[in-house]
Amino acid sequence: MARQERAELTRVAIIRAAAEAFDRFGYAGTSLSDITASAGVTKGALYFHFGSKEDLARGVIEEQHARAMALVDRLVKQGVSGLEAVIKLSYEFAEQLVADSIVRAGIRLTLEYGTFENPIIDPYRSWIQATEDFLSKAIEENDVRPTVMPDRVAQFIVSAFTGVQLVSQVLSGRRDLQQRVDEMWELVLPSLVVTRKIPHFRSVAAHAMAAR
């Protein structure tokens, strides 16, 4: 098993180095030499684990996808209410984005690939789907107005978050990301939540980070 352990270690090192580079320079702007150099690995090793550059990018995206889904699963397990889950998901995702270059690389690659052929929309679709499910649950729980259409709103929330995160990155290197997410909920909550519960969920948003 020592063999496999070492192989796994190498694989992880490559993914990590690749993510760092993809995050910084994008797919086309990253060279495999950059990656092998900073991972301390030879080209041969890289090509043993990944058949091509695209394959490697796909590996990074999958890893990011797994991490995002882990957030969702945890929220489901914690049994929090639907709307609370939507809100917390956004903050926790933001936190991943700041802390984890694999997550950053994953979303950057997903966005870039949108321009290519055979788009890799799975990660996005899953994220939107999870948000939609949480929203549906929130309607059942009488937290969100019944007139809200969960699919449309889920798409908007994910979109808005994506934009917020991008602009935060461009303008402040993501240093003010959390505050911008606060801003987002401030503006969006009133359209979703039944009036008397707005204050409650405002504080959920406000404390989402503090609690962590």
The window from 59-67, 69-77, 87-95, 162-170 that contacts its own copies (CB under 8 A) reads 162-170
Picked from DNA, its own copies, none, the partner binding residue 203 (CB below 5 to 8 A depending on kind) is none
Q: Contact with DNA (CB under 7 A): which of 26, 34, 164, 206?
A: 34
Picked from its own copies, DNA, none, the partner binding residue 32 (CB below 5 to 8 A depending on kind) is DNA
DSSP 97-124: HHH-HHHHHHHHHHHHHTTSSS---HHH
Tell me the C-alpha distance between 178 and 17, whole Å.
Answer: 26
Tell me the C-alpha distance between 186 and 202, whole Å.
Answer: 7
Residue 10 in contact with DNA, rule: CB under 7 A: yes
In Å, how far are 40, 42, 79, 103 from 55, measured between CA atoms?
A: 19, 17, 36, 17
Tell me the C-alpha distance between 67 and 206, whole Å.
Answer: 24
Picked from its own copies, DNA, none, the partner binding residue 199 (CB below 5 to 8 A depending on kind) is none
Is 34 or 100 the residue whose CB approaches DNA more closely? 34
Is 59 or 82 the residue whose CB approaches DNA more closely? 59
Tell me the C-alpha distance between 165 and 177, whole Å.
Answer: 6
DSSP 70-86: HHHHHHHHHT--HHHHH
Picked from its own copies, DNA, none, the partner binding residue 12 (CB below 5 to 8 A depending on kind) is none
Site of interaction with its own copies (CB under 8 A):
23-29, 110-112, 114-115, 119, 121, 124, 152-153, 155-156, 158-171, 180, 183-184, 186-188, 190-192
